[in-house]
Amino acid sequence: MILVTGGAGFIGSNFVLDWCAGADEPVVNLDKLTYAGNLANLASLRDDPNHVFVQGDIGDVALVRRLLAEHRPRAVVNFAAESHVDRSIHGPEDFIQTNIVGTFHLLEAVRDYWGALPDAEKAAFRFLHVSTDEVYGSLAKDDPAFSETNRYEPNSPYSASKAASDHLVRAYHHTYGLPVLTTNCSNNYGPYHFPEKLIPLCIHNALAGKPLPIYGDGQQIRDWLFVKDHCSAIRRVLDAGRLGEVYNVGGWNEKANLDVVGTLCAILDELSPRADGQSYKTQITFVTDRPGHDRRYAIDASKLERELGWKPAETFETGIRKTVQWYLDNQEWVANVTSGNYREWLGKQYGA
């Protein structure tokens, strides 16, 4: 079996759902259930004997040690993280505690567990750490895409905390021999995405007749990765990645934020047109840019393709259509996550 941390969040829950659908190997799912962790994401697994959910913190060393001793996983896949840049600007302490201190405590517990395994199990064990392309900083318009050899230049409290966690994982491999793998992904999108991030926020606001807030001039460029493709890449790295290596995971889809929102509006115009016949694009509103906003991210995922034969299955055009359709089909899920606390956060970040 495997232990997944943060498996009730956006990417983690998609990974757990795909794992349980495609493998007959049990998963123990440890999640703290902060604001972005949602058990409703895992509702289809409620009666699945191969899925064991445990509410808890990766920083709770006693709990993690108990789970490792009780379930004896062959691998740990670490998704647990605070991940929203805007939130890290307003309140960086949670990011330091979860992403740095929490990762340290998790590594310590895993190191002790791994060190006591019999030789065969010890050789087969893996610790896979899921990280972000934001650790590399920002690119100019004509710069080559981020490769695994780019130096770290994080520009937000979030990306700095993830960079620190990456360094800890690397150090535990080189110092203690812990068999680690690290993946650095580009911007994910898809089902179960908490509606504070650009794509689900704009879908939700569009349907509610609210403004679609775009930071600055909307020309910030990101590489967009469909979450199901990201999950398949993680499974491939877990299966065949070289120990101690870093693998960038990207969708080969560089898009400006304004173009992404324009595409969303066009799909919504087709699938769920406004009653007045106007385009959802009329709801686009430009707001003050956030501090230290990185201008461009781009991922070179050629190492992953070259060494492990992985390529994304979805283009941006196919993935974004599936995403919009999912949100249209799952309005009850959206209503349940847009709580009072969520609305207070949107008001704080974007103004009334």
- Rg value, the chain, Cα: 20
Residue 292: closest CA among 188, 162, 154, 196:
154
Please indicate whether residue 94 is annotated as part of the active site: no
Q: Which of 82, 86, 133, 300 is catalytic?
A: 133
In order of start, what are the domains of the chain with their CATH numbers?
2-194+226-252+295-315 (3.40.50.720)
Q: Which of 31, 57, 134, 254 is catalytic?
A: 134
Residue 86: per-residue pLDDT:
72
Rounding to the nearest 10 degrees, give the CA dihedral for residues 343, 346, 351, 352: -20
3-state helix, strand and coil shares in percent for the chain, rounded to the nearest 5: 50, 15, 35
DSSP 146: B
Residue 36: per-residue pLDDT:
75
Residue 339: per-residue pLDDT:
67
Please indicate whether residue 133 is annotated as part of the active site: yes
Bridge partners of residue 55, in order along the sequence: 31
Residue 351: per-residue pLDDT:
55
> What interhelical angle do 198-208 and 257-271 show, nearest 10?
40
**What is the mean pLDDT of each successive set of 10 residues along the chain, which is 352 residues long?**
97 98 96 86 94 96 98 98 77 91 98 98 98 95 96 94 98 98 97 91 96 95 97 98 98 96 98 98 94 90 98 97 97 82 52 50
> Which residue is it, tokens 């060190």?
115
Task: Give 300's Cβ-side CA count (13 Å radius).
Answer: 13
Q: Which of 113, 136, 158, 189 is catalytic?
A: 158
Neighbours of 309 (CB within 10 A): 9
Please indicate whether residue 307 is annotated as part of the active site: no
